[in-house]
Amino acid sequence: MKVVILAGGLGTRLMEETETRPKPMVEIGGRPILWHIMKIYAHHGFREFCVALGYKGDVIKGYFATYSLHDGAMSVDLGQRTIQYHGREVDDWKIDLVSTGLDTPTGSRVKRLAPWLGNERFMLTYGDGVGDIDLRQLLDFHQRHGRLATVTAVRPPARFGGISFDGDLVREFTEKPQVGEGWINGGFMVLEPGVLDYIAPSGNVLESDTLEQLAADGQLAAYRHEGFWQCMDTLRDLRTLGALWAGGNAPWRVWPASEGV
């Protein structure tokens, strides 16, 4: 099953860091948050990724094109024209890096990935949020409810809009939840291929167009995650995540030391 990661936005609220790189490449503990997100998925057995690129997408392409250079040592034999890597981290990931346009709305970015996804179920998340979500439980929840889409609902900071429920289905999206009581879309979604039929090739916003319509049709389930979740929307968020990682208290680090830093 492929994992779609939306990584094409401008990151305007984090301009201190995004003038020279896209937000998913802003680092926590010396690693891009995109890497952290992929490590979460890989730990649960999802190792095929399709990354929707936009703003400064070449930076993300360059990172993975030179991935083997980021760790360990290397020996270069100029005469033999060979390079040997030593002690480098090995991640058995397969990654499609697809340019989906500079100003393309989120839903339309997903639509443009259709040739890469085939007619199969896929996961989807944003390139700026981490959490200790059990992705296998999320998938089981999605399969039990039999809807076209499942979104992970998380406890929000007060500045976000919220979700109200009808059992395990989404009834509607609300403007501002009460602190500690509301829920928001935290990403980490599971989508059936039929969701692509809800998306126009251009001008479609995933959140306000696609998900709203799925909810109206009774086709959007909500997996409530009571654990840790945090997006990296502002410089303050970045500092919070960085401090957790530096202190060895990063709840989203669900992978053991044997799986990498």
Domain boundaries of the chain, sorted by first residue: 2-61+96-250
The model's confidence at residue 95, banded by pLDDT at 50, 70 and 90, is very high
The model's confidence at residue 164, banded by pLDDT at 50, 70 and 90, is confident
- Report whether 42 contacts 89 (CB < 8 A): no
- Classify 25 as helix, strand or coil: helix
Rounded-to-integer distance, Cα 196 and Cα 180, Å: 33
Q: Which two tokens stand for residue 169?
A: 């289905």
Phi (first) and psi of residue 74, to 5 degrees = -145, 150
Task: Provide the pLDDT for residue 70.
Answer: 76
Among the four given CATH numbers 3.90.1300.10, 3.30.390.30, 3.90.550.10, 3.40.50.9100, the one describing domain 2-61+96-250: 3.90.550.10
* Single-letter residue type at 95: I
Task: Provide the pLDDT for residue 69.
Answer: 78
- Calculate mean pLDDT across residues 192-205: 92
Q: Which two tokens stand for residue 132?
A: 């200790």
Least confident of 66-75, 117-126, 209-218: 66-75
- Classify 31 as helix, strand or coil: strand
> Cα 173–6–188 angle (5° rounding)?
55
The model's confidence at residue 159, banded by pLDDT at 50, 70 and 90, is low
DSSP string computed for 135-155: HHHHHHHHHHHT-SEEEEEEP
Look-up of token digits 């020996």? 75
- Report whether 152 contacts 225 (CB < 8 A): yes
Q: Annotate 57-66 with b (16+ C-beta within 10 A) or e (fewer).
A: beebeebbee
- Classify 188 as helix, strand or coil: coil
Rounded to two decimals, the pTM is 0.89
- Report whether 227 contacts 131 (CB < 8 A): yes
Residue 162's beta-bridge partner residues? Answer: 174
